[in-house]
Amino acid sequence: MLALLKRLLPGSMKIRARRYFMRGDQVRCPLCGQGAIAFLPAGTPPRAHALCPFCGSLERGRMMWLHLQRREMLRPGVRVLHIAPEKGLGRRIAAMPGVVYTAGDKHEPGYRYPAGTIDLDITAMPFPEGAFDLVICSHVLEHVPDDRQAMRELRRVLAPDGVGLVLVPQDLECAATFEDPTVTDPRERLRLFGQFDHVRLYGRDLVERLQAEGLRVETLYPGAVSSAEERFRMGLRAEEPLYEVRR
**Residue 76 and residue 85: Cα distance in Å, rounded?**
20
In angstroms, give the least distance from the CB of 240 to Zn ion: 18
In angstroms, give the least distance from the CB of 9 to Zn ion: 22
Q: Report the residue number, 92 or 189, with the smaller CB distance to Zn ion.
A: 92
Q: Report the residue number, 31 or 140, with the smaller CB distance to Zn ion.
A: 31
Q: Is the peptide bond between 45 and the residue preceding it cis, with omega within 30 degrees of 0?
A: yes
In angstroms, give the least distance from the CB of 235 to Zn ion: 9
Q: Report the residue number, 52 or 68, with the smaller CB distance to Zn ion.
A: 52
- What's the chain's length in residues? 247
Residue 194 gets which letter from DSSP?
S
Query: By the criterion CB under 5 A, which residues form the site for Zn ion?
Result: 29, 31-32, 52, 54-55, 57
- Under 8 Å between Cβ of 139 and 84: yes
Q: For residue 1, how far is the Cα from the chain centroid?
A: 38
In angstroms, give the least distance from the CB of 99 to Zn ion: 20
Q: Report the residue number, 80 or 89, with the smaller CB distance to Zn ion.
A: 89
Extended beta strands in the chain, E state: 23-28, 35-36, 40-42, 47-51, 79-83, 100-105, 118-119, 132-138, 158-167, 178-179, 200-201, 216-220, 242-246
In angstroms, give the least distance from the CB of 88 to Zn ion: 6
Q: Report the residue number, 28 or 246, with the smaller CB distance to Zn ion.
A: 28
Within a 10 A sphere around the Cβ of 168, how many other Cβ atoms? 22
